[in-house]
Amino acid sequence: MKFSVTVTLKKDVLDPQGKAVLNTLNNLGMNSLKNIRQGKFFEIEVNEDNQEKAVKKIKDMCEKLLVNLIIEDYKINKL
């Protein structure tokens, strides 16, 4: 079973990288931009047929290593 995990900075955490990307896109003339936040994306394949169990495993991976819960949020999606 394959899942995606999207990791984003929490709303109130400053994202200087996203801001630099936004400024550069503005410089390229794409000036209708409102906001950009940069994040991380993981594609994870697990040996598990039961979706509920698989999601539980991925959640565990996120909270133990992939995500810094102080500053980041995450979303799990089935692919």
Partner 1 sequence: MRSSVIVFPGSNCDRDIAVALEKMQFKNQMVWHKETILPKSDLIVIPGGFSYGDYLRSGAIAGKSLIIEEVIKAANSGCLILGVCNGFQILTETGLLKGTLLRNKNLKFINKDVNIKVMNNHTRFTSKYETDQVLKINIAHNEGNYFTDQKHLEELKNQNLIGFKYCDDKGNINDEANPNGAIENIAGIFNKNKNILGMMPHPERMIDKLISNNDGLNLFSSLLN
3-state secondary structure of 18: helix
Residue type, 11: K
Smallest gap from Cβ 29 to partner 1, in A, equals 22
Q: Which of 2, 13, 26, 50 binds partner 1 (CB under 8 A)?
A: 13
Rounded CA-CA distance 51/28 in Å is 43
Give the number of residues in contact with partner 1, rule: CB under 8 A.
11
Bridge partners, 77 (sequence order): 4
- Could you say whether residue 23 binds partner 1 (CB under 8 A)? no
Structure tokens that stand for 8 in this block:
């984003």
* Minimum gap (Å) between residue 1 Cβ and partner 1: 23
- Under the binding rule (CB under 8 A), the answer on residue 1 touching partner 1 is no
On whether the CB atoms of residues 42 and 4 are closer than 8 A, the answer is yes
Which is nearer to partner 1, 46 or 66 (by Cβ)?
A: 66
